[in-house]
């Protein structure tokens, strides 16, 4: 077996953290992702199977739901993304597929995305320079897809105050991080 060294999306051996006055931008590689989409006519069956598996109902349009170890956000009509800690749920998609069966199409998404978390009261000042989504008016526990540095990204407002996650395409992690860092330096 080769001795491979795991690297984060930004190429480091440990996650990148940038600290500013009133803001911290941190790379979060420790999350597994899988998306679910209801098969034709099976949305209700999928919703009850998903609730049984997750321990919480699938969230409404543009909202999120949390029940440790899972968090779920709405992506589109009859589509959701599920997050769980990578250490305990490396095979998240397989687990979900086993629970949902033929009610849903399940897609492994973990390494398609890079996640940056923005925490601190100045996060709005950065986000308002970068994307269309109005972070100040997003209620806690909501999610939207928006364009950020020409990239289609998910912007999630966690239930905690002043905590946003940006999920962007992993192959553009460097550009996305550069945009966040530049906006933070300019705003703060």
Partner 1 sequence: MIINHPLLGPRDSQEFTYLGDAALIDRPDWQAEDAVDQFHDYLYLRDNPAGIHRELWFHETGDRSWLVVTRDTTTHEITSVELARDVARARGRSK
Footprint on this chain of partner 1 (rule: CB under 8 A): 40, 61-62, 74-77, 132, 144-147, 152
Query: Coil, strand or helix: which one is 99?
Result: helix
> By C-beta, is 14 or 137 nearer to partner 1?
137
Give the nearer residue to partner 1 in terms of CB position, either 143 or 173: 143
User: What's the closest the beta carbon of residue 39 comes to partner 1, in angstroms?
Assistant: 10
What is the distance between the alpha carbons of residues 9 and 141, in angstroms, rounded to a whole number? 26
The smaller minimum CB distance to partner 1, of residues 23 and 143, is found at 143
**Cβ nearer to partner 1, comparing 62 with 99:** 62
For residues 2 and 51, give the distance between their C-alpha atoms in angstroms, rounded to a whole number: 40
Cβ pair 32, 25 in contact under 8 A: no
Which lies closer to partner 1 via its Cβ, residue 4 or residue 61? Answer: 61
- Closest listed residue to residue 104, CA positions, set 88, 84, 82: 82
Least distance between partner 1 and beta carbon 58 (Å): 15
Per the CB < 8 A criterion, the answer to whether 20 and 184 are in contact is yes
Shortest separation between residue 141's beta carbon and partner 1, angstroms? 16
Residue of 18, 13, 9, 6 whose CA lies nearest to 175: 9
Tell me if 31 sits within 8 A of 84, measured CB to CB: yes
Q: Which two tokens stand for residue 48?
A: 């009850």
Nearest distance, CB of residue 150 and partner 1, angstroms:
10
**Closest separation between CB of residue 44 and partner 1, Å?**
16
């Amino acid at each position: 077996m080769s001795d491979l060294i795991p690297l984060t999306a930004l190429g480091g051996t440990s996650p990148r953290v940038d600290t500013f006055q009133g803001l911290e931008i941190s790379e979060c590689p420790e999350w597994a992702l899988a998306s679910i989409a209801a098969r034709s006519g099976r949305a209700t069956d999928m919703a009850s199977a998903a609730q049984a598996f997750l321990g919480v109902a699938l969230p409404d349009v543009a909202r999120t739901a949390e029940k440790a170890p899972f968090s779920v956000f709405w992506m589109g009509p009859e589509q959701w993304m599920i997050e769980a800690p990578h250490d305990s749920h490396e095979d998240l998609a397989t687990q979900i597929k086993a629970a949902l069966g033929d009610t849903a199409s399940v897609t492994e998404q973990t390494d398609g995305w890079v996640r940056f978390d923005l925490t601190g009261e100045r996060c709005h000042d950065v986000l308002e320079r970068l994307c269309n989504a109005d972070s100040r008016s997003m209620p806690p526990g909501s999610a939207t897809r928006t364009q950020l540095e020409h990239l289609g990204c998910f912007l999630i407002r966690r239930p905690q105050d002043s905590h946003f996650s940006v999920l962007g395409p992993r192959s553009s992690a460097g550009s996305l991080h550069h945009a966040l860092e530049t906006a933070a330096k300019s705003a703060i």
